[in-house]
Chains A and B, each alone.
Chain A
Amino acid sequence: MSLSEFIGDVRDALKKHNAAALCKFLEINPQDNKGPLIARFNDPNDFDLYEIDERFRNVIKSYIKLMKSIYLVNDIKKSFEDYNEMVIQLNRYAELQTNWINLTLMKCCKELIGIYSVMEKSFPEEIKNNNQSNEIFTDRKQSALEILANTINKSFKLSLNDKNLDLSQSKRIDIYFFLSILIKIYFKLGNIELAKSIEKALKGTRFELPAFNKKLKDKASAITYLYYSSILSLEDSDFKSSQSKLESALNLLSYYQDISRVKKNHQKILILLLPLKLYNDKKIPKDIIWKQFPTLKYLYKDNLFEFILKGQIFQLNNFIIKVQAFLLKSNLYLLFENLKRLCMISLIKKTVHIHQSLNEDTKTNHIIPFSAFNVTITYSTHGKSQKDYTENFDEIECILASLIADGFIKGYLSHSNKCIVLSKTVPFP
């Protein structure tokens, strides 16, 4: 195969909008071992490329340069730079194309990430240090991961800003592919603000985006995007939105043919969803989940949820300390700070139940003295019996007032009588 034959093949693929063929012509490992052959092509000039769309000429030039870096120079860093340049040029070409180009663009983005991964494995320390460089020095060189993010961001914007009203004909049809890669890179860079900015851009669009249902073509990307997006909602303490995103992710995952192959991802979704469901809906999963995921059983059923549902403050606090590194890393720490309130409600319910069983007068057993809560809350907080329970009614009153104000308890406080008068019908809505 000569340079002119190669250019002729690319020209035909472009004319016919044959994305599959174009993907093959831009392979870094082309069929029949043609890689070294392509690497030895002369650099094409404008005369060689005169039949090619002007915007695509630079794609071909970058591709041949890339093949030289791979097969002749054997330099992975140079290969990454060249491949990145090729995707930048492809983005430029894609600006004036319909969504037929998406397939080629996605394939090239995937391959660019593949090259980045090889580079990361080849020079782990260098890449890691570069990615973690102090951002105060604004004139520093961009890290490879930032370069990658910038390029994928351009592809994402191309997709988001396609104004074609017909979604099936629009580049937006593949938006979750670019979005999932981009949000994952921003998390890897530790730059949550950038991740939030693309969420903002997404919310700001007035054009239709693919729905998260069984008809969605690229469910894997949508699940990945929804997972990271739910973490952003967790960061903002928007627990309802976080739960809703995870439920959508789980729903899409249910269409996976062999779920055991993606068990780690399934577990990662459930790690976040389970405490959110407890907090938002007061629901816990059925036993089947605990059987499938022993790690979750240990973490939640046997410990965190157990202490919350029983009202064991001391045990809950201790276990939170034990797993706090994990909770912080998973952005769950704040949620569990909120779930401590649920633990307190469980304890208060128990106190009311026990007090009522000890009080024989049914006419007054909806009135509970602060002293009863003082005993149980002190006992639960310290995890052991006290010789005497020092009266700390101001704190008790504050706890109860706050729970009444937030609608967890129905009733009113009597400061002078040092008691709470509960609703006779629904004390705990």
Chain B
Amino acid sequence: MSEEEKIVQTLEEDDEFEDFPVDSKWTEKSGGISGESLWEEDWEDDNSDEFSEELRKELEKSRK
């Protein structure tokens, strides 16, 4: 089984939200795993990737 297939299988099998450990400890201060700082400002449109080049070629071909 490939690495990818293993990941897909794990995702399919894993379904229950686990109970938190009995001795869970919580702090007063947030650990910074949430909030806006977690996200990129905006995703840039990448027009220089390989797929864009393929599209460009197809469009050029069709114009001839």
Are the CB atoms of A255 and B27 closer together than 8 Å?
A: yes
Q: What 1/0 flags go to B25-51 for Cβ under 8 Å of A? A: 111111111110111101101110101
Cα(A228)–Cα(B1), bound, Å: 32
Partner of A255, one of B31, B51, B59: B31
Secondary structure of the A side of the interface?
Answer: helix
Partner of A262, one of B21, B42, B51, B54: B21
Known contacts being A262-B20, A277-B39, is A385 close to B26, with CB within 8 Å? no
Give the shortest distance, in Å, between A142 (CB) and chain B (any CB). Answer: 22
Give the shortest distance, in Å, between A268 (CB) and chain B (any CB). Answer: 6
Are the CB atoms of A355 and B59 closer together than 8 Å?
A: yes
Q: What 1/0 flags go to A251-289 for Cβ under 8 Å of B? A: 101111111011011101001000001000111111011
> Which chain A residue shows the least CB distance to B39?
A283
Q: A273-315: which residues lie under 8 A (CB-CB) from chain B?
A: 277, 281-286, 288-289, 295, 298-299, 309-312
Cα(A241)–Cα(B34), bound, Å: 17
Are the CB atoms of B18 and A265 closer together than 8 Å?
A: yes
Give the shortest distance, in Å, between B37 (CB) and chain A (any CB). Answer: 8
Cα(A380)–Cα(B56), bound, Å: 12
Q: A221-264: which residues lie under 8 A (CB-CB) from chain B?
A: 223-224, 227-228, 247, 250-251, 253-259, 261-262, 264
Are the CB atoms of B51 and A312 closer together than 8 Å?
A: yes
Are the CB atoms of B33 and A389 closer together than 8 Å?
A: no
Are the CB atoms of A375 and B58 closer together than 8 Å?
A: yes
Q: B4-31: which residues lie under 8 A (CB-CB) from chain A?
A: 4, 7-8, 10-12, 14-21, 24-31
| Residue A358 interfacial (CB < 8 Å) | yes
Q: Which A residues touch B61, using CB under 8 A? A: 385
Instruction: From A251, A255, A266, A371, name the one whose CB has the most chain B CB atoms within 10 angstroms.
Output: A255
Q: 29 A-B residue contacts at CB 8 Å?
A: A224-B17, A224-B19, A250-B34, A251-B30, A251-B35, A253-B34, A255-B26, A257-B25, A257-B26, A259-B31, A261-B24, A262-B18, A262-B20, A262-B21, A265-B18, A265-B20, A268-B17, A282-B43, A285-B39, A286-B37, A299-B7, A310-B51, A346-B45, A349-B45, A350-B51, A350-B52, A351-B55, A354-B52, A354-B59
B contact set with A: CB distance below 8 Å: 4, 7-8, 10-12, 14-21, 24-35, 37-40, 42-43, 45-47, 49, 51-52, 54-56, 58-63
- A268-B17, A309-B43 given; 13 more Cβ-contact pairs under 8 Å: A220-B24, A257-B26, A282-B43, A284-B40, A284-B43, A286-B37, A311-B51, A325-B12, A350-B55, A353-B52, A354-B47, A372-B59, A376-B58
